[in-house]
Structure 1
């Protein structure tokens, strides 16, 4: 990979990771459009560590309270309150994407990165946003959530393994269908992503230097990319949390649908190649 490619793709990753527009889909499209080659899922997974570091910093107090409450509850049944329960919700909600991500890693790294799939999913999943916003009652709070809700949202998170879906878009949509408040669903989707993304990034780190599919990056490149995604990721989280307080996620469909259709046109014209 070139330095220009690393910087541009890291900017794209940082700006889109937390928005329901699919950062992996955008990285795939930008890589093909400007460099004619897929940077690869391993590179994406590693620089996502920067955006997850942004989540850790932004929600540091919440995460600390959950960790403290969970450890207290494990050793003392009398300390099993909301934070203890939230800890188990994050752990159990992470299991589906962990299993599917591990056993389906070859398909995720290669087969699902076809740009026809990305473009189609960008369009079709936009209607999921619209339906979730329309039919979700958005009345349940974090205190109303349980293990079943976490597990269901965890299965929704699995859809994000397909470039074009969006991790936040999938899990938040799942939460809205469960009648969970939009802000609550958004916050939980960020918490739910932490174990999966960190594990994926660390697991993919060796492959990013010598990938089976995609392009190789040097250590300094991955470090700079991770720093860029951290800074822009933090800004994106702050903006999105303010946005969801008063705006529907359906607004993002107004961007996703034209973007997906444009990619289809470029594929038909031969400007972009599926692989």
Structure 2
């Protein structure tokens, strides 16, 4: 992998991890279309770390507050107030994806990383996102979610293991169906990405530590920095865009990309 490939893949990761258009789908498709070799596990870890740092930086006040509330309630030094309850609900929302990842990750990596699967998931879940956004009125904030909401959104997040689904897209879709506002659904999706990326990154780091794959530290540092900056930009853009006009631009993009892939591959 050369420097250009490293930068392009990092930009794609940073932009598409947050926008509801599927980072995994784009990271499968772009090397496939350009004839690039697989970037390797080490680089995937670097990109996810860059994305994680960006989300935590953008929502640093919320992260610090929730971490303190969650820790205090866990050790019995703080009552289960609104912030602590929200933090525990994010933990609950993480469990389905963690279980599904351990159970099905190898099968998905082997059998579902294909353009045909990505076409179906891009178009199908894109239409579902558009329907949810048009059907649901502006409603609750992310802090007004309950345990049932967190579990349902967490189960939806587990579907994002399938390439082309989009973790942010499917969780925002579930949030809108449950009556969250556009901003509430987006913020819940962003905040719940923190434990998920931590778990996924930790799992990949363990694979890396136990494997023999060589590590290009310079390219990893570049990828991490580019993913960090592009993720910050994409969070800002998404929050402003959905507040003004909703999720329809991303629905149109998913449908257009899915149609283009049908033309290219089939």
Q: TM-score, normalised by structure 1?
A: 0.89
Aligned residues: 266
| CA distances 1:80-130 after superposition (whole Å, capped 9, x unpaired) | 211110111011110000010112121232222111101221111111011
CA distance in 1, matches of 2:70, 2:114: 41
- Matched residue SS, 2:265: helix
1:252 is the counterpart of 2:250? yes
CA distance in 2, matches of 1:209, 1:114: 28
CA distance in 2, matches of 1:10, 1:250: 25
1:117 is the counterpart of 2:105? no
Tell me the equivalent position of 2:63: 63
CA contact (8 A) 1:18 1:236 kept: yes
CA distance in 1, matches of 2:133, 2:77: 38
CA contact (8 A) 2:42 2:215 kept: no
CA distance in 2, matches of 1:229, 1:63: 20
CA distance in 2, matches of 1:205, 1:4: 24
Change over 3 Å in CA distance of 1:259–1:70 after alignment to 2 = same
Tell me the equivalent position of 1:262: 260
| CA distances 1:158-193 after superposition (whole Å, capped 9, x unpaired) | 111111111111000000000111101110111111
Change over 3 Å in CA distance of 1:143–1:233 after alignment to 2 = closer
Tell me the equivalent position of 1:141: 141
Unaligned ranges ≥5, structure 1: 269-275
Tell me the equivalent position of 1:200: 200
**1:169-248 matches, cutoff 5 A:** 169-205=169-205, 207=207, 218-248=216-246
**Root-mean-square deviation (Å):** 2.2
